[in-house]
């Protein structure tokens, strides 16, 4: 069995981890893999998993197991026979891997004929060979870019061109890069199909630029470092190399999208402090997807599906209707603690805080800050003040005031602190 | 300490959220309670019996912090007093509110002790005399609202403590005590 299958790694939310330049093409649910009777290298039948076709591999995933078959090891794909029997059977097709023949039994509803066609296409396209060459090319270009001042060879490269030396070299390299980028962009925008074909290249380009920035950052001054780091961030956010699309996932579209989204939001969530609005994620996610944009409705569907799966993130709806994505581990307590410190400052005691004040302290968007303030209010930590000046929040003094003696002020406690702060201004 | 005339205001009167109707139940309950106490206190010391929602009421605005209660908030606080029996709406539109810092029963008791203290157990008085006569000067009965007084007298009449009789005009209704 070890001969036929290779182990395939999956992400925490059950999405396959793809190798460089590998793109998902199609997907069938509820698929069995059976060994052909009488062939050598027999294996135990794999029951009801998801079969994913990528440009490089066939991946079979179930909750317990994940295996892959490199397309390069497939020696033959049998054309499916049509017989009376096949009317009553679940659809099936066969292919040969070295000496073993594997039968794919499709019990789910997916369009297996399309899948088979795609399998043929991918098998013939031999994408795994392209990868090897392009990686070699990109390595060469990086090494010549980073070879500045490294003393490897003279002024001339092996092909006779002038090597890049010093600042001028960097500038020239930069210009060359720009020219080629420009060309790529022009090609890419000729029409949408061309853009789709170019997508992979663009991601590669982004990666290359990042590499180059990394390698040259030593030789530039500190001022530029900040902007370069930012540039790197931008470039990093360019690519999901293999976005889940309706075409590739079919009926399982939302489910797969949901898993991919769960993997994707991890990093933006961390940066945003554990909570991020749905709108922000929509923008980030679609930018990362590049051309295969999803609709807001699809995003919402994908997020709603998280409830059913074991993922570390969740969709949360505030009372006001604002929806956000947050880590399951994210706790409101921490936010409240920071809000409480904020409102207890003398200035805030006197004038209260607005959503934008809270946003600055918490380092989040004002809309989100307002949600936190409203939640804190509903828990009784804060209370509101609506005036012509606007909507502000104050620390809640009401519990400390005695209704039996309206003039009683305890020395300790926030009520006393508030009176002292308020009298300073008065 | 801030004052309204000779009335000493509590510290929280300058707390801006005090003037915004709080939406959270627990907070609002406490806010309403504090408003009820303050309104009763203020009315008792200032001898105010009727609060009109559309009229200026000193307690409902704070010029120092530039806040004032919305009509909704005013009605909410007065309604809370009404539901406790410490106030009554004088009209269906809830535009005027009678504040009872003493309940009608308490007023009746006050009248009784006033009568006893002045040795008027079997005397006859006009209603107007009870409100503004020499005997009532310096007591809580002085200047009390006529409607409230009539209601308190009715309570006592029902208990057989006095009889109300009509004079020649509505202004001089008389009371015959028989305690």
Q: Quick one: tokens of A221?
A: 């001054």
Q: What is the pLDDT of residue B76?
A: 92
More confident residue, B98 or A309: B98
Residues of A with CB under 8 A from a CB of B: 352, 377-378, 380, 383-388, 392, 394, 396-399, 401, 403, 406-407, 409, 415, 418-419, 422, 426
Helices (H), A98-165: 112-125, 127-146
- Same-domain check for residues B23 and B82: yes
- Same-domain check for residues B93 and B157: no
Q: Residue B149 sits in a domain of what CATH number?
A: 1.10.10.10
Contact by Cβ (8 Å): A205, A254: no
Answer yes or no: is pLDDT of A40 > 80. Answer: no
Q: What is the pLDDT of residue A188?
A: 58
Select from A352, A383, A409 the Cβ nearest to the Cβ of B22: A383
Question: Considering B68, B99, B130, which residue would you say is the last residue of a domain?
Answer: B99
Q: Residue B45 sits in a domain of what CATH number?
A: 1.10.10.570
Q: Of the ranges A62-66, A106-110, A319-323, which one carries the lowest mean pLDDT score?
A: A106-110
A26 beta partners: A53
Q: What is the mean pLDDT of chain A?
A: 76
- Same-domain check for residues B147 and B134: yes
Select from A384, A399, A401 the Cβ nearest to the Cβ of B20: A384
Q: At what angle do helices A166-188 and A192-216 cross, to 10 degrees?
A: 160
SS3 A67: strand
Q: Please enumerate in sequence order all residues whose Cβ is within 8 A of that of A345, keeping only pairs 6 or more positions apart, or say none.
A: none
The two most distant CA atoms of chain A are separated, in Å, by: 95
More confident residue, A221 or A288: A288
Select from A378, A383, A407 the Cβ nearest to the Cβ of B10: A407
Q: What is the pLDDT of residue A384?
A: 93
A67 in the Ramachandran plot: left (φ > 0), alpha (ψ -120 to 50) or beta?
Answer: beta
Question: What domain count does chain B have?
Answer: 2
Q: What is the pLDDT of residue A149?
A: 39
How far is the first Cα of chain B from the last one, in angstroms, to the nearest whole number? 47
Q: Quick one: tokens of A344?
A: 């207890």
A48 in the Ramachandran plot: left (φ > 0), alpha (ψ -120 to 50) or beta?
Answer: left
Burial group, residue A198, by CB count within 10 angstroms (0-12, 13-18, 19+):
buried
Answer yes or no: is pLDDT of A67 > 60. Answer: yes
- Same-domain check for residues B163 and B90: no
A383 and B24: CB-CB below 8 Å? yes
Search chain B and give the residue with CA nearest A352: B16
- Same-domain check for residues B81 and B111: no
Q: Quick one: tokens of A392?
A: 């502000």
Search chain B and give the residue with CA nearest A378: B24
- Same-domain check for residues B94 and B7: yes
A385 and B64: CB-CB below 8 Å? no
How far is the first Cα of chain A from the last one, in angstroms, to the nearest whole number? 84
Residues from chain B that touch A396, judged by Cβ atoms under 8 A, are 17, 27
ipTM score for this prediction: 0.83
Question: Considering B99, B117, B144, which residue would you say is the last residue of a domain?
Answer: B99
B37 and A396: CB-CB below 8 Å? no
Q: What is the pLDDT of residue A156?
A: 53
A243-274 pLDDT, tens digit each:
666 666 656 778 888 888 888 888 888 887 77
- Same-domain check for residues B75 and B91: yes
Mean pLDDT in consecutive groups of 10 residues from the start of chain B, 179 residues: 80 92 93 93 90 88 90 92 90 89 89 87 84 82 86 89 77 79
Task: Determine the Cα–Cα distance for residues B155 and A186; give it in Å rounded to an integer.
Answer: 96
- Same-domain check for residues B114 and B144: yes
Q: What is the pLDDT of residue A181?
A: 79
- Same-domain check for residues B158 and B115: yes
A426 and B64: CB-CB below 8 Å? yes
Rounded to the nearest angstrom, the minimum Cα separation between B102 and chain A is: 17
- Same-domain check for residues B87 and B12: yes
Structural domain boundaries enclosing B164: 104-177
- Same-domain check for residues B15 and B31: yes
More confident residue, A201 or B115: B115
Q: Please enumerate in sequence order all residues whose Cβ is within 8 A of that of B159, keeping only pairs 6 or more positions apart, or say none.
A: none
B17 and A403: CB-CB below 8 Å? no
Residues from chain B that touch A422, judged by Cβ atoms under 8 A, are 14-15
Rounded to the nearest angstrom, the minimum Cα separation between A107 and chain B is: 54
Question: Considering B79, B99, B119, which residue would you say is the last residue of a domain?
Answer: B99
Long-range contacts of A116-124 (CB under 8 A, 24+ apart): A116/A77, A116/A80, A118/A25, A118/A26, A118/A53, A119/A26, A119/A53, A119/A58, A119/A77, A119/A95, A120/A77, A121/A25, A122/A25, A122/A53, A122/A54, A122/A55, A122/A71, A123/A71, A123/A74, A123/A77
- Same-domain check for residues B95 and B10: yes
Search chain A and give the residue with CA nearest B31: A398
- Rounded to 5°, the CA angle B155-B159-B161 comes to 95
Q: What is the pLDDT of residue A21?
A: 76
């Amino acid at each position: 069995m070890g001969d036929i299958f290779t182990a395939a790694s999956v992400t925490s939310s059950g999405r396959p981890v793809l190798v460089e330049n590998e793109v998902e093409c199609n997907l069938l649910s509820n698929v069995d893999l059976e060994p052909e009777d009488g062939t050598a290298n027999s294996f135990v039948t794999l029951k009801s998993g998801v079969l994913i076709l990528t440009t490089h591999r066939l991946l079979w995933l179930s909750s317990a197991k994940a295996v892959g078959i490199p397309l390069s090891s497939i020696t033959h794909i049998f054309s499916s026979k049509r017989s009376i029997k096949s009317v009553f059977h679940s659809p099936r097709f066969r292919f040969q891997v070295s000496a073993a023949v594997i039968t794919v039994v499709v019990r789910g509803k997916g369009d297996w004929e399309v899948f088979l066609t795609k399998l043929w296409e991918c098998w013939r396209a031999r994408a795994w060979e392209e990868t090897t060459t392009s990686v070699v090319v990109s390595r060469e270009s990086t090494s010549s870019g980073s070879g500045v001042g490294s003393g490897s060879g003279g002024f001339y490269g092996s092909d006779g061109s002038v090597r890049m030396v010093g600042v001028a070299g960097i500038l020239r390299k930069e210009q060359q890069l720009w020219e080629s980028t420009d060309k790529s962009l022009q090609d890419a925008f000729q029409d949408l199909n061309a853009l789709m074909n170019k997508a992979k290249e663009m991601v590669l380009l982004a990666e290359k630029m990042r590499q180059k920035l990394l390698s040259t950052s030593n030789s530039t001054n500190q001022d530029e470092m900040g902007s370069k780091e930012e540039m790197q961030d931008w470039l990093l956010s360019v690519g999901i190399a293999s976005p889940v699309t309706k075409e590739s996932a079919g009926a399982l579209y939302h489910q797969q999208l949901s898993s991919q989204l769960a993997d994707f939001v991890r990093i933006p969530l961390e940066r945003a402090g554990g909570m991020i609005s749905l709108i922000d994620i929509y923008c980030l996610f679609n930018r990362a997807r590049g051309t295969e944009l999803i609709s807001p409705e699809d995003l919402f569907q994908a997020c709603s599906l998280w409830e059913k799966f074991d993922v570390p993130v969740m969709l949360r709806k505030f009372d006001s209707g604002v929806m956000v994505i947050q880590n399951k581990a994210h706790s409101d307590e921490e936010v409240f603690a920071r809000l409480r410190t904020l409102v207890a400052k003398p200035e805030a005691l006197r004038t209260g805080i607005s959503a934008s004040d809270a946003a600055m302290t918490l380092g989040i968007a004002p809309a989100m800050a307002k949600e936190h303030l409203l939640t804190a209010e509903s828990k009784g930590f804060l209370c509101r003040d609506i005036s012509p000046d606007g909507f502000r929040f104050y620390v809640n003094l009401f519990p400390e005031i005695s209704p039996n003696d309206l003039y009683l002020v305890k020395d300790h406690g926030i009520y006393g602190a508030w009176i002292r702060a308020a009298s300073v201004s008065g | 300490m801030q004052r309204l005339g000779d009335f000493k205001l509590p510290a929280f009167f300058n707390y801006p959220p005090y003037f915004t109707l709080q939406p959270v139940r627990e907070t609002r309950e406490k806010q309403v309670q504090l408003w009820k106490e303050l309104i009763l206190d203020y009315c008792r010391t200032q001898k105010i019996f009727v609060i009109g929602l559309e009229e200026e009421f000193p307690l409902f605005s704070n010029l120092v912090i530039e806040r004032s209660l919305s009509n909704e908030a005013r009605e909410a606080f007065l309604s809370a007093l009404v539901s406790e029996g410490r106030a009554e709406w004088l009209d269906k539109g809830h535009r005027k509110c009678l504040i009872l810092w003493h309940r009608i029963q308490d007023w009746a008791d006050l009248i009784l002790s006033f009568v006893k203290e002045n040795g008027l157990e079997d005397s006859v008085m006009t209603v107007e005399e009870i409100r503004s006569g020499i005997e009532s000067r310096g007591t809580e009965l002085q200047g009390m609202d006529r409607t409230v007084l009539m209601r308190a007298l009715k309570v006592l009449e029902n208990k057989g403590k006095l009889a109300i009789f009509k004079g020649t005009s509505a202004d001089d209704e008389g009371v015959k005590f028989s305690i």
